[in-house]
Amino acid sequence: MSPKRTAATAPVLRRITAEAVLQALVSGDELTAGDLMSATGLSRPTVHSVCDELIGRGWVTETGAAHAPASVGERTAIQVAASTGGRPSRRYALNAGAGLVAGIDLGATKISCCLADLRGRIVVEATEPWRDEHVGAPERVMIARRIMKELLAEAGGDPGRVLAAGMAVPAPVTDDGHAVALESYLPGMAALDLRTALRPDFDWPLLVDNDANLAVMAERWRGAARGVDNVIVLLAGWRLGAGICLGGRLIRGAGAAGEMRFLELVEGVGNTDAVGGMCRELGAVAAAEIIAGDRPATPEDSVLVELCAGDPETVTAEMVVEAARRGDQAAVDVVDVVMERTARAAAVVSTLLDPELLVLAGGPADAGDVLLPVFDHHLGRLNSVRPRLAASMLGDHAALMGSVRAALDHAFEHLLD
Amino acid sequence: MSPKRTAATAPVLRRITAEAVLQALVSGDELTAGDLMSATGLSRPTVHSVCDELIGRGWVTETGAAHAPASVGERTAIQVAASTGGRPSRRYALNAGAGLVAGIDLGATKISCCLADLRGRIVVEATEPWRDEHVGAPERVMIARRIMKELLAEAGGDPGRVLAAGMAVPAPVTDDGHAVALESYLPGMAALDLRTALRPDFDWPLLVDNDANLAVMAERWRGAARGVDNVIVLLAGWRLGAGICLGGRLIRGAGAAGEMRFLELVEGVGNTDAVGGMCRELGAVAAAEIIAGDRPATPEDSVLVELCAGDPETVTAEMVVEAARRGDQAAVDVVDVVMERTARAAAVVSTLLDPELLVLAGGPADAGDVLLPVFDHHLGRLNSVRPRLAASMLGDHAALMGSVRAALDHAFEHLLD
DNA sequence: GGGGTTTATTAATAGCTTTAATAAACCGCT
DNA sequence: AGCGGTTTATTAAAGCTATTAATAAACCCC
C-alpha cells in the first residue's frame, strides 16, 4: 500500500548534478563556476542554476568577489588567480555554518565530545575522564548527553541545527551500525540500544561505530593516511584493535572485523578477555619485570623504579617510554618485548590483507620516537614484504574526528532530501 | 587537448534506465513489462521503449507469449501466471546467444578452458593436465590459446563474438588486475605480461585474477555462498589461499590480500615458499608418518601402506582420505594434524575478518565427509564465535566459474557502450 | 458476440541540460 | 575618460527523457 510509487525520473538528473556540485564544494574551498564546470563536467548555465538552487536551500553561499578574506591563522587556499581581464566570476562556497554535526568518543578512560561545522572544523569540544573506571554504560551515555547539552549552549546552537551525530565506542558494533556485540570492554554496553542513546534529549541520526573503524577513516581524512585507499590503523592503546580500510571502504565483516583476538591462538599469550594494547601491556610487563627482576630495585639503579617511586603497581606506559628514552636497559627491554608482540599482530594482519600503509595509533602520546623504530625493526624481521609505516597524526583525537567524519558523511548524503 | 569534453547529460538517464532493465534481465528469466516496471521503478512506456532499443541492439529478445518452451533438463522458472483475462503481455528475455565469454583456469596441475553464453551457461569446455609439472608460464599460456582455438571451432563461434575473457592464476595479481606479483607458484609467471597473454590470437578484454578471489565470487554466484555478502573461501588444494569477499566486494588490498603466509610466523610451520594446502600436506605428512612410524609398515597392518603399495613417496591425499574412511588410525591421525593446521589458519582469518560464512574448497574431491567434521571440530575448539561452515559446491570448477563470472561482469558493464 | 480486464501504444506535458547568442563587467592602454 | 580585448553571466532555443492520461488491442468468460 505504498503511496503511489513516486517514480519521478526527471528530477533524478538534477539530484545527480546537485550532488556532484556539492561534492566539489565539500572540500571547503571557494570555487568559481569555471572550477565547478571542470570538476563536474557540467555546462556553465547548469552550474549556475544548481548553485542558485543550493543557495536557496542554504547549503551554499556566494562569497564576495576576490576579496580574499584570509582570516588570520587559517590559510584557505584561495587562489585569487591574477585576473587577466574579464568579467569577474561568481564564487561559491559551502555554507559551513548551515548546520552542525556532533562527535562523541566514548573512550576507555575518558569521554570526548565536540560540535563541528559542515567543513569539519571543531567549534566546541570537551573532554572528561570517567569518574572511576567502572561507570556503567547507561551512566556513561547520560554523561555524554549532559556534556552535549553544555556544548550546545556554549556554541549557541539549538539542537535542530545538528544534522547528525557520530559515536565511537571501544567495542565491535553490529552490521546495522547501532548495537554493540561484545561485552568485554564496557560493562552493560551490549544490553544498551545505542540507536536511541541520545534520544530523550536529541533526536539526531546517530551513527555508532567501533573506535578503530572511525580512527582509520579519520586518518584518511585528515591524518597520516590522506589519499590512501588501502590502510590499516592499529589502535594499540588500552586494547588492541584494528581499523581496516581496503579499496577505500571500511571492512567490518559481519560486524566484528578488526578484532585481534587471534593473537591468543597464535601464541597463547594474552588473557581470554580483550587483547591488551600497548598502554596496558607496557605497564603490566614493566611491573612484572621489576617484581621479578634479579637486580636490586633501587632508584639509583633503575630509572623505571625511580619514576614509579618504587611501587611497581603504579608503573604506567608513559614511565616506561620515558625511562627507555633515558637509556634504562630494563625499560628498553620491556619496549622491545611489547613491540615485538604488537609487530607480530601487525605482521599477521598485513600479510593477510596487504595494505599499502600501516598506521600505529593509540599508544602513549608522543612516544613515536621510542616505539616506532622498535616496531619497525620487528615488523621487518617478521614480514618480508611490509607496508609503509606511519604514526598516527591525530593521536587521541582519531576516534573523535572519525565520529565527526561519519556524521558529516551521513549529513551530506541526506542534505538534498 | 581532449576532444571537446562530450559532457552530454541527456542520454545519461537513458543509460541508467537501460542498465536497470538489463540488470533485471540478467538473472535469465523471461520477464513481462510489468515485472520490469516493479523491478526498476520505471513506467510502462519507458520499459517498452528501453526494451525495444535493447532488442534493436541485439541484447534482448522478445519471446513468444506464454509458450513455456521448457527445454528438457533445464527448469527456467518461468511462471506463466494463470491469466485472469486481459491482453497478453510482451515477454522479454536476455538474448543469451548474443555473445560469448571465455573462462580460463590456469591451475597448478591442469588447465581448464570454457566458453559460456551470456547467462553463464557453459557451451564448451576442455580440461588438460600439464604434460609435466615444470611447464614454463609462457608455454602454459600458449597451451591456453591452443585450447581456446579448438573450443571456438567446436562451438562454431568466431572470436569476434567473445565479449570478454577471465583467467584464474594460482598467485596474487597486482591491483590493475593484470600482472602477477609473486613468483613462488608458477615459474616465469611474474615476468609475463598477462594483459596480452591471448593477444596474438584473441583481442578480448582479459581479466586476470587470483584463483581464490575468483572462487569466492563463483561460490557467491552459483555455489555454497549464494546471497552471502561476507564470505571467505579457503582454497586449500595445493597451496593455501583465501578469497575474501566482505560487504559484497572482493578484498585484494594492494594486490596480495588473501595470502596465508602468516602461518609461518604464527607457528614456524611451513616452508618459506608458499604455504601448502591440504592436498600437498596430507600427502607429505602421511609419507613422513609412514617413514618415521614405529609400527611395521606392512600392508596388513596399514591401509595406507597397502594403498601406496609400500612406497611412501607415492602417497596422495586421496589415499589418506580413503584410508581414514576405512578406519586406518594412522590416516585418521594425519587428517587430524593437517586439519588442525588448516583450522588454525581459518580461525585467524575469521577472527580478524568476521565473515558470516566460511567455504572450504580445493581439497581432495568428495572428501568433505572425512575432512569437514574434523575441520569443524578444531575450528570450534580454537574459535569461540565461529562463522557458518560449508563445503564448496563447485569444487574443481570454482576458479573456472569465477573467471566466467568476471568476464560476464566486464561484458555487462560495457554492453551499452 | 458482448462485458470485463489487463496490457500496449500514442499523445501531451514537464524537467533538465546543452549549445548558441547576447549582455556584463573588468583590465590595460591611449 | 573612452575603447578594444577578454572572460564570465544570463537568456533563449532546441533536444532528450520520462511521466501521466487517454486511447486502442487482445484476451477471458459467459
Q: What percent of chain A has pLDDT over 70?
A: 83
CA of residue A95 to C1' of nucleotide C17, angstroms: 26
More reliable by pLDDT, A396 or B101 = B101
What CA–CA distance (Å, rounded) separates B40 from B21? Answer: 7
Residue B90, CB, strand C, below 7 Å: yes
Mean pLDDT of chain A: 83
Q: What is the pLDDT of residues B302-337, one digit of tens each?
A: 777 777 777 777 778 888 888 888 888 888 888 888
Q: Among B13, B265, B352, whose Cβ lies nearest the Cβ of A12?
A: B13
CA of residue B10 to C1' of nucleotide C16, angstroms: 8
Is residue B33 scored above 90 in pLDDT? yes
Q: Among B5, B246, B255, whose Cβ lies nearest the Cβ of A253?
A: B246
Residue B244 near residue B251 (C-beta atoms within 8 A): yes
Give me the residues paired with residue A93 across strands: A61
Chain B residues closer than 8 Å to A344 by CB: 265
Chain A residues closer than 8 Å to B7 by CB: 41-43
- Which grid coordinates are listed for B92? 522479454
Angle at CA of residue B367, ends B361 and B368, nearest 5°: 60
More reliable by pLDDT, B296 or A301 = A301
Say whether A352 and B266 touch across the interface (CB within 8 A). Answer: no
Q: What is the pLDDT of residues A82-138, one digit of tens each?
A: 667 789 999 999 999 999 999 999 988 899 999 999 999 999 999 999 887 778 888
Q: pLDDT tier at B54 (50, 70, 90 boundaries)?
A: very high
pLDDT at A276: 65
Say whether B265 and A387 touch across the interface (CB within 8 A). Answer: no
CA of residue B261 to C1' of nucleotide C19, angstroms: 59
Query: Helix (H, G, I), strand (E, B), or coil: what is residue B122?
Result: strand
Residue of A nearest to B175 (CA): A247
Say whether A249 and B249 touch across the interface (CB within 8 A). Answer: yes
CA of residue B123 to C1' of nucleotide C9, angstroms: 39
Interface A–B counts its CB contacts (< 8 A) at 122
C-alpha separations of B180 from A228, B141, B242, B406 in Å: 22, 14, 16, 17
Say whether B262 and A351 touch across the interface (CB within 8 A). Answer: yes
Q: Is the dihedral of CA B299, B302, B305, B308 positive or negative?
A: positive
Say whether B13 and A17 touch across the interface (CB within 8 A). Answer: no
pLDDT at A408: 98
Residue A383, CB, strand C, below 7 Å: no
Residue A85, CB, strand D, below 7 Å: yes
- Which grid coordinates are listed for B130? 600439464
Say whether B251 and A353 touch across the interface (CB within 8 A). Answer: yes
Q: Which residue is nearest to nucleotide C9 (CA to C1')?
A: B45
pLDDT at B195: 80
Q: Among B42, B172, B351, whose Cβ lies nearest the Cβ of A261?
A: B351
What CA–CA distance (Å, rounded) separates A272 from A267? Answer: 12
Q: B interface mutation test: which of A15, A37, A44, A352 has the most B CBs within 10 A?
A: A352
> Which are the contacts of B227, defined by CB distance < 8 A and separation ≥ 6?
B220
Q: Among A41, A251, A266, whose Cβ lies nearest the Cβ of B251?
A: A251
Is residue B147 scored above 80 in pLDDT? yes
> Which are the contacts of B350, defined by CB distance < 8 A and separation ≥ 6?
B232, B358, B379, B383, B386, B387
Segment B33-37 shows an average pLDDT of 95
> In degrees to the nearest 10, what's the CA dihedral of A254, A256, A262, A264?
-140
- Which grid coordinates are listed for B251? 578484498
What CA–CA distance (Å, rounded) separates A305 from A298? Answer: 6
Q: Among B7, B13, B41, whose Cβ lies nearest the Cβ of A5?
A: B41
Say whether B251 and A246 touch across the interface (CB within 8 A). Answer: yes
Residue A195 near residue A189 (C-beta atoms within 8 A): no
Q: What is the pLDDT of residues A158-213, one digit of tens each?
A: 999 999 999 999 888 876 665 665 655 666 777 778 888 898 899 999 999 999 99
How far does B255 lie from chain A, in Å, by closest CA? Answer: 7
Say whether A265 and B9 touch across the interface (CB within 8 A). Answer: no
Say whether B352 and A257 touch across the interface (CB within 8 A). Answer: yes
pLDDT at A177: 60
Q: What percent of chain B has pLDDT over 90?
A: 46
Query: Helix (H, G, I), strand (E, B), or coil: what is residue B162?
Result: strand
What CA–CA distance (Å, rounded) separates B343 from B358? Answer: 11
What CA–CA distance (Å, rounded) separates A166 from A168? Answer: 7
Is residue A411 scored above 80 in pLDDT? yes
Segment A234-257 shows an average pLDDT of 87
- Which grid coordinates are listed for B398? 570454482
Q: Among B43, B253, B265, whose Cβ lies nearest the Cβ of A347?
A: B265
Burial of A70 per CB tally in 10 Å (0-12, 13-18, 19+)? exposed
C-alpha separations of B218 from A165, B233, B342 in Å: 39, 10, 22
Burial of B262 per CB tally in 10 Å (0-12, 13-18, 19+)? buried
Question: What stretch of H or E contains A262?
Answer: helix A262-267
CA–chain centroid gap for B88, Å, is 40
Q: A interface mutation test: which of B228, B250, B351 has the most A CBs within 10 A?
A: B351
Segment A377-388 shows an average pLDDT of 83
Residue B85, nucleotide of least CA–C1' distance:
D28
pLDDT at B213: 94
What CA–CA distance (Å, rounded) separates B234 from B391? Answer: 10
Q: What percent of chain A has pLDDT over 90?
A: 47
- Which grid coordinates are listed for A296? 636490586
Q: Which of A213, A214, A169, A217 is nearest to A194 (CA)?
A: A169
List protein-proximal bases of chain C (any atom < 7 A from a CB). Answer: 3-11, 14-20, 23-28
Q: pLDDT tier at B271 (50, 70, 90 boundaries)?
A: very low
Residue of A nearest to B8 (CA): A42
Residue A153 near residue A161 (C-beta atoms within 8 A): no
Residue B49, CB, strand D, below 7 Å: yes
Residue of A nearest to B44 (CA): A7
What CA–CA distance (Å, rounded) separates A113 from A169? Answer: 12
Chain B residues closer than 8 Å to A16 by CB: 12
Beta strands at A122-129 and A162-169: parallel, antiparallel or unpaired: unpaired
Burial of B289 per CB tally in 10 Å (0-12, 13-18, 19+)? buried
Segment B257-279 shows an average pLDDT of 62
pLDDT at B227: 96
Say whether A354 and B255 touch across the interface (CB within 8 A). Answer: yes
pLDDT at B69: 36
What CA–CA distance (Å, rounded) separates A141 from A128? Answer: 13
Is residue B71 scored above 50 in pLDDT? no
- Start-to-end CA span in chain A (Å): 22
What CA–CA distance (Å, rounded) separates B363 from B234? Answer: 10
Q: What are phi and psi of B42, to 5 degrees?
A: -90, 165
| A163-177, A246-260, B213-227: range with highest mean pLDDT | B213-227
Question: What stretch of H or E contains A288?
Answer: helix A278-292
Is residue B274 scored above 90 in pLDDT? no
pLDDT at A203: 95
Rg value, chain A, Cα: 25
CA–chain centroid gap for B312, Å, is 33
Mean pLDDT of chain B: 83
Give the range among A1-5, A147-151, B100-104, B107-111 with minimum mean pLDDT.
A1-5
Say whether A348 and B266 touch across the interface (CB within 8 A). Answer: yes
- Which grid coordinates are listed for A115? 560540535
Q: A interface mutation test: which of B12, B173, B174, B262 has the most A CBs within 10 A?
A: B262
Q: Which of B247, B231, B342 is nearest to B285 (CA)?
A: B342
